[in-house]
Amino acid sequence: MKSMLGGMNTLGGPMGKTDIRRDAIMQALKDKGSIALIDIVKQFGVSEATARRDLEILESEKRCIRTFGGAVLESLKVEVPFFNKMDLLTEEKKEIADKALRFIEDGDIIGLTGGTTTTFIAKKLNQFKNLTVITNAVNIAYELIGTPGLQLILTGGVIRTQTFELSGPLANATLDNLSIRKTFMGCDGVSLSRGMMIYNELEAETNRRMMRQSMETYLVADHSKFTRSSLFVIGEVQEAVGIISDSAITPEMKHAFKEAGTPFL
């Protein structure tokens, strides 16, 4: 009988449409770690004001933390495995990859850090001639190996099965001996105040090393990364020449990052 009547809300009464929607928002947060305001509007067919109100209520119940343009889990402790992330926001990542190709030329020497967005870039590199690609990601190396006319350099290092990235002293030593024209860097979270962030300390250092050895660094991140925080900082956003993201980025966010010196490209 209880299941037929539905669940109970936080006040002990029967759940209405609003409670069901907020529970669905929380489930999305648990699945992905973060959610963007625009995704709530699209998924649930509500106004932006209603979406903001939902997040305000969830934050007051200490179920999430509101961020610029969305929310993250109140306590985000679990890193999402690589193959789970590959199935998230795939169209947005394809859009980012297509945009990134505009900054690559035949004969370029490019760096790709690990991550799902950079993996989507790697899948499209067979259209260029005489590329050199440097990466610390085993899955990206596997994607590119055997591509005609492409020189592939994979760093050494210790692999993390969560991300398929090589990091540590061996990876850093490889990068220290290379000169890279353009690096496309993924991340787990982005903030103007905190910078570009990632879950793992060793991977953060290896990404810093690749950025340091590059003439230009492009941050590649879908819109959900701008509502997410992580533990280890790779560097300040201003260290990238620009950000390549998807079309869900709001005008307000574009203005804020442009004013800080790192525009969306």
At residue 212, the pLDDT reads: 98
User: Comparing 2-73 with 82-259, is the CATH topology the same?
Assistant: no
Digit-coded pLDDT (tens) for 119-168: 999 999 999 999 999 999 999 999 999 999 999 999 999 999 889 999 99
Q: Which of 83, 136, 82, 125 is nearest to 100 (CA)?
A: 125
Rounded to the nearest integer, the mean pLDDT of the chain is 89
Q: What's the average model confidence in pLDDT over 95-102? A: 98
Does the pLDDT of residue 242 top 70, yes or no? yes
> Is CATH 1.10.10.10 correct for 2-73?
yes
Does the pLDDT of residue 5 top 60, yes or no? no
At residue 208, the pLDDT reads: 97
Compute CA distances 259 → 103, 238, 254, whole Å: 22, 11, 9
Return the domain boundaries, the chain. Answer: 2-73, 82-259
CATH ID of 82-259, from 2.40.50.180, 3.50.50.60, 3.40.50.1360, 2.40.110.20 = 3.40.50.1360
Does the pLDDT of residue 176 top 80, yes or no? yes
Q: Which of 83, 82, 58 is nearest to 70 (CA)?
A: 58
Q: What's the average model confidence in pLDDT over 109-116? A: 98
Q: What's the average model confidence in pLDDT over 52-74? A: 81
Model confidence band, residue 59 (pLDDT cutoffs 50, 70, 90): confident
Q: Which of 260, 259, 199 is nearest to 234 (CA)?
A: 199
